[in-house]
Amino acid sequence: MKTRKDAWTKENDLLLAETVNRYIQEGRPQSAAFEKVGDILSRTSGACGYRWNAKVRKHYGGSTAAAREPAALKEKDKKISMTDCVSFLESYSQGERMEVENSQLKSRNKALLEKNRSLTEKLKAVQNKLASVEKEYRTIVTVIEQAKSMTETEKSMIH
């Protein structure tokens, strides 16, 4: 028979809090946690429940809500259909493929930007050369026209 009457220690409170939160997280009842802690501490489950509700829950209450979340998620997970699983895996696989494709496209884009820069430099060089050739062409045409004009002037002086 459990008839312990000494005071609760911080270690006892911590054991109670951790056990209750773990049981909640696993989706098991608090009463089972009280029994488990009672067995360990040689206290009744009623004493553990009373301590939990009177003192410990106030200090560790925030963790109780957090502990309940995984239990709710586990319950939800139990209701996932095979179709949901296949759909998830396909989208996950597609996501991985998209990441690979995105990486390849970034690499290709970088190469094309570099090629564009190189071709732009070559275009500028060709345009500068063309301007130089056009200037020389105009000079040659001017010289030819002057020579032609002089030839005509000389012909008209001879006749």
DSSP string covering 39-100, please?
A: HHHT--HHHHHHHIIIIIHHHHHHHHHHHHHHHHHHHHHHT--HHHHHHHHHHHHHHHHHHH
H-helix or E-strand containing 115? helix 82-158
Please tell me the pTM assigned to this model.
Answer: 0.42
Average pLDDT score, the chain: 85
Question: Left (φ > 0), alpha (ψ -120 to 50) or beta: where does 133 sit?
Answer: alpha
What are the pLDDT digits (tens) for 51-89? Answer: 999 988 888 765 566 656 655 555 555 577 778 777 777
User: What residue ranges do the domains of the chain occupy?
Assistant: 10-78
For the record, the structure tokens of 104 come out as 């390849």
